[in-house]
Structure 1
């Protein structure tokens, strides 16, 4: 069977999940001439790449940038015809908020790992003893930490506990919602251990990886917001005649004994719980881990089904405020907060008008947009911040923003606010995760016409999701074409 657009008989495929990975999967299949049906339980397509309105301005409700360490996202944006909207952030640098206050983050390394221990900013963060311990990294053989399973273990062995606590942990808890001792190294910094073996020290390895993506160019965005990627993908798949069904929950899938292929049973709660089947010769699961494993679990060997911890619940609070004191961008493009800080409950703050020129121009002088993130991975108690009502979270966010930025922010400054909640949006990449993923994907080869994509398989971030989804779909298409 050859899967191309010249066939007179069009094969069919069902894609479950309408996030970025699902839209990309549907697009790749449609480009090869298949009749594609995409099923999504929510009304919104694009997953964590979406938009909301605050004070009359359309802003990103989820992802607001993409990593530029690879060209995958930029190539996709070019294919979609919106490459002219790519923009770089202001080169203001980020800050750390520690127990003793705010400090500019070192800019010589990657993910908090310093690349140059002579950087004056590091002396402001580490004690004399902590700095002496960190400098031992240069004297240790490259074999020290070579077999470390987590980022925390590696940094601790090479540079000491203080570097973990005061430099690396604020970054991983702020970005990944996970402590370094729970972060799989290759899932967040691919090639770090290989660079260590080559360079001989962790600092040199970190510096070399940073040099490949120098300050100001690690991320990029889109004028108007990353939400335009979702919109462009939806337009593209509709143009390719992909059938999109929203508001349906996937219940189960089964082999169709008469027609072959797969039948998806789905439920539409808004239509009186009506159950409707959708058939396709090919099935692509593009959902979170619990849904994918629940749907496919009965068709797989139980020993090949990975135990994957669901992502943490996160609440993003966006504030539009009038505060001219912020025109000077006093804390760069934002701050990452140590989990040892008790006076601030946010784990991170992005000063959007200090980061993106297009937002600053929309807001005008004296008006600013800040976004605070709540929901630490180690916070499971009944008093956790994500359990607060929206109006309570907004009040807390104003307090936290004032502390972090060093200015007064009260209700009198507030122009508008919104709270967006994401559940399970950042799957935890714990040690051994990649091996479990590979075992799972190998087991899918025993199911004719089935594959799976998504952030829990690729790793977090648009760059990882885009690269992995397209690669997986190309391999899937090639494999089925050879049958």
Structure 2
């Protein structure tokens, strides 16, 4: 049951009512507690600082129950890292091109926004590894790259005979402290050796998440692996058990995207918010949050831009402020009010992506390799993704003979290899690295267009200590009435983490605000 708004003697759900569709419900004189709750919602004012996915999702949770919402975005566009642009005549995603279906939260949002018919699944293809032996498929029977059978030929040709024999010791080695090791890297290294770690596990960890396996928490990234290891007595045996359990539970594609690109999700969120009466202002950087004597909040916006039209009344007395900015800005805004928030505690990795649009007959005729991770020392790039090999809708949009390839540079503890290069030098390096990783001869003459983007990636939710650190930050913020923070720096990277987290945090604060002002109405709603 959700709160409903009161209008001319009838109550109308301000968002989609449970069960689908919009519906009216009669409200009579006996429904005064419900009307009180409705009035409470109408008099709440929420300001969301940050117009990325997390901020927009949080804003939607407030707006769809009739609460007045203002979204302030510092840049000139919404969506945060979920952005797109035209490169070489092709409109491409520059940030995430899809989302994990784990948990179902993102797909539920996509359906709610009317984009269900545009959902696309990527073309099935194996992950590839590039190293001294060339470009080879990652062994299929693995968990996080850890092989189920080190004697399999697909494993042996990557780690060699010495690596295979070392990995086999996992089967005969005494269990000792099995199940107690949290570091993925330490677990793999001690059980199966350095070659399995460096050649099978580290490439994907570094390429996809910019984190070394030594810093990855096994209990977060592979729930059940430690318990299975204890039961079976070996890491390879644990991999077999976990793979079997996953196969039994799996239904549908593990990853999805949206035809036309993820900016369509951003546009649909913004449209729904405006339909619900929310106000969205771009080009409105927030400089500080000030606590008023009555406990509400004043949001200070940089006023140097004379064209800014944010109504001061929307910002002068906010009951709730949602901070949905990147970590550095979030800490700057939160630190004066939440005692445990430190300004110098952010741990992010600087990455640079270069998107190439190529017209290469050789690449078009080559085996389709969707994602390729380099082995240590094999490339200055961390990953290459052939987006046209991955998404049929993008292949159709690009046209025959045109490929869209994206490379990522950078990793923990260092600057991207492209950092000191100018645009032409960076593009030339990206073409050379794509040629190496895809196993196809490419040259700058094949280039129809390129784009480079730099961003800071928050510490992944799977990093050792990150769940505890995020929980501590959340506890400090929760102690301050009317203040909440959402985003990847707390939820973990990826829409499958960000969306449900923003929803849950907005719902928690919303319930506290409304139920606290209309307890009897809350009781009535629960009774219904």
Provide the TM-score with structure 1 as the length reference.
0.90
Other-structure match for 1:261: 296
Match of 2:442 in 1: 409
Tell me the alpha carbon deviations over residues 159-187 of structure 1, each in whole angstroms, 9 at most, x when there is no partner: 22211111111111101112111223344
Shift of residue 210 of structure 1?
4.5
Separation in 1 of the partners of 2:190 and 2:159? 16
Shift of 1:471: 1.9
- Report the counterpart of residue 404 of structure 2 in structure 1: 369
Higher mean Cα deviation, 122-131 or 212-221? Answer: 212-221
Query: How far off is 1:37 after superposition?
Result: 0.9
> Following superposition of structure 1 onto structure 2, how do residues 200-215 of structure 1 map, counting pairs within 5 Å?
200-210=233-243, 212=246
Aligned to 2:69: 36
Residue from 182, 185, 192 that aligns with 2:215: 182
Matched-pair contact (CA < 8 Å) for 2:50–2:71: yes
Alignment RMSD (CA, Å): 2.6
Q: Describe the shift of the 1:116–1:306 C-alpha distance in structure 2 as closer, same or farther (beyond 3 A).
A: farther
Q: Are 1:286 and 2:324 matched, yes or no?
A: yes
Q: Show the 5 A alignment for 1:7-156.
A: 7-8=38-39, 9-140=42-173, 144-156=177-189
Contact 2:418 2:426 in 1 (8 A): yes
CA contact (8 A) 2:185 2:197 kept: yes
What SS does the corresponding residue of 2:419 show, helix, strand or coil? helix
DSSP 3-state at the match of 2:405 = strand
Q: Which moved more, 1:187-196 or 1:322-331?
A: 187-196
CA distance, structure 2, for counterparts of residue 204 and residue 183 of structure 1: 21
Q: What is the SS of the residue equivalent to 2:43?
A: coil
**Is the Cα–Cα contact under 8 Å of residues 178 and 378 in structure 1 kept in the other structure?**
no
Secondary structure in 2 matching 1:385: coil
Based on CA coordinates, which of the two structures has the bigger radius of gyration?
2
Q: Could you tell me how far apart the structure 2 residues matched to 1:75 and 1:207 are?
A: 31
The alignment of Structure 1 onto Structure 2 pairs a total of residues equal to: 475
The 3-state SS of whatever aligns with 1:95 is strand
Q: Determine the structure 2 residue equivalent to 1:425.
A: 457
Q: Is the 8 A contact 1:306 1:436 kept in 2?
A: no
Which residue does 2:284 correspond to in 1?
248
Quickly say closer, same or farther: Cα 1:209–1:49, change in 2 above 3 A.
farther
Which residue is equivalent to 1:450? 483
TM-score between both structures, scaled by the size of structure 2? 0.83
Whether 1:480 and 2:510 are equivalent positions in the alignment is no
Q: Deviations over 1:86-138 (max 9, x none)?
A: 12111121211224432211222232222343432111111222112223334
Instruction: Give, in whole Å, the separation in 2 of the partners of 1:40 and 1:251.
Output: 12
**Aligned CA distance change for structure 1 residues 31 and 187 (closer, same or farther; 3 Å):** same
The match for 2:261 among 216, 225, 229 is 225
> Secondary structure of 1:293's match?
helix
Q: CA deviation at 1:428?
A: 4.6
Distance 2:401 2:101 in 1: 31
Residue segments in structure 2 that go unaligned for 5+ positions in a row: 7-37, 517-528
Question: 1:340 corresponds to which residue?
Answer: 377
In structure 1, C-alpha distance between the alignment counterparts of 2:343 and 2:287, rounded to whole Å? 20
Return 390-399 or 268-277, whichever deviates more: 268-277
Alpha-carbon distance in structure 2 between the residues aligned to 1:242 and 1:111: 42
C-alpha spacing 1:392/1:25, structure 2 compared with 1 (3 Å):
same
Quote how far apart the aligned CAs of 1:216 are. 9.4
Give 1:446 shift.
1.6
- CA 1:263–1:377 in structure 2 vs 1: closer, same or farther (change >3 Å)? same
CA contact 1:130–1:162 (8 Å) conserved in 2: yes
In 1, distance between residues paired with 2:233 and 2:277? 54
Post-superposition Cα deviations, 1:144-173, rounded to whole Å, max 9, x if no partner, equal 452323221122222222111111111111
Provide the C-alpha distance between the structure 2 equivalents of 1:404 and 1:309, rounded to a whole number of angstroms. 32
Structure 1 Cα separation of the partners of residues 234 and 59 of structure 2: 44
Which sits farther off after the overlay, 369-378 or 6-15? 6-15
Moved more, 181-190 or 88-97: 181-190
1:320 corresponds to which of 349, 357, 366: 357
Maintained 8 Å contact 1:14/1:36: yes
Deviations 1:233-263 (A, max 9, x none): 11111211211121122221121114x3111
Aligned partners of 2:76 and 2:282 also within 8 Å: yes
User: Hey, what's the Cα distance between the residues in 1 that align with 2:226 and 2:507?
Assistant: 29
The verdict on how the C-alpha distance between 1:48 and 1:37 changes in structure 2, with shifts beyond 3 A counting, is same
**For structure 1, which runs of at least 5 residues remain unmatched after alignment?**
none
